[in-house]
Amino acid sequence: MKEKYPLLEIIDKTGKLVPNAYEIEITEEEVKRFYYHMIRLRIYDRKGRALQRQGRIGTYVPFEGQEASQVGSALALQSDDWMFPTYRDHGATLTFGADLDRLLLHWNGRVEGCVPSKEKNIFPAAIPIATQLPHATGAAMAETYKGTKNVSIAYFGDGATSEGDFHEGLNIASVFKAPVVFFNQNNGFAISVPIEKQMNSETIAQKAEAYGIPGVRVDGQDVFAVHFAVTEAFERARRGEGPTLIEAVTWRFGAHTTADDPSKYRDQEKSEQMRDDLDPLLRLERFMKNNEMWEEEWITRIKQEIEHELDEAIARMEAYEKPNPADMFDYVFEEPTWTIAEQKEMLRRSVK
């Protein structure tokens, strides 16, 4: 099946164009736009882990290594399209235009951080696995009924393909030709479970055959390949030709979450040794240097601007008034049940 679903690659690990790859025009402006967003996510992600270790936010979900997949796909969206992320796709949401302050409040456990943005069609991050796939299908169908050309994208990991929602989302989208892209980031593990213990299929892309839709397999460390594949799938969807399943073969260097110890189930030293070949940021940097697009002054300036942007946002997050613990009881039901009212009263008495 890997022969039938070859890995689409446009730039290799040395930053050179792959011979006989798709002929696409890559402008310096576009390359720098990719790099800006990818370095912004790398700096943000490392700050997120540091904040958690310092006790300044709660559990954090890192994504280092998956920046090309998230940036390449998010930049293919148009402003009125829909994004359905998982808990690991905050890089994609930031790239699409999510509010940084609100995202930090989310990781700080604040109710305010869970309020969807009014500026962008970004669904709240799905914590349950694969539940966002039927939602993305429904939103895409709604746009079709309204007569728009808007599309949706659903992000999910390899573990989500073991869930019933995966089948339901793809099946309904296929039947109704919903303009949706199902974007899988296959990093080889669903927490500690390796992909070979989840399925006998050689690829995730081949699962598209069961639904009569196109399946595409792409190098998730190559931002150009990801962007090209997703853009092509969106164009197909806007023409009314239905959904596409894309498998981005990627690698996450860190833990599943900051509550996880990946050394229990994989060799972390080997993972770091693979960085030279697999780090998507290194690959793009090499491409820029090979093509005389690397400008040290510009790189230094944008890194400083990003650091300043993040530091100011963190300061605003930490300046927020302390949250009311009773808020956790107020958004479960429209009218609280007697059990919830009792628990809220117990909390009130205990914090006096």
- Catalytic (active-site) positions: 252, 256, 265
How far apart (Å, rounded) are the C-alpha atoms in residues 85 and 107?
A: 15
β-bridge mates for residue 183, sequence order: 155, 246
β-bridge mates for residue 216, sequence order: 246
β-bridge mates for residue 84, sequence order: 154
Concatenating the DSSP letter of every residue in 288-306 gives HHHTT---HHHHHHHHHHH
How far apart (Å, rounded) are the C-alpha atoms in residues 22 and 269?
A: 34
Q: Which of 64, 48, 46 shows the shortest CA–CA distance to 254?
A: 64
Helix or strand (DSSP H, E) at 74: helix 67-74
Longest Cα–Cα distance in the chain: 71
Buried b or exposed e, range 96-112, using 16+ CB within 10 angstroms:
bebbbbbbbbbbbebee
How far apart (Å, rounded) are the C-alpha atoms in residues 61 and 199?
A: 25
How far apart (Å, rounded) are the C-alpha atoms in residues 89 and 83?
A: 10
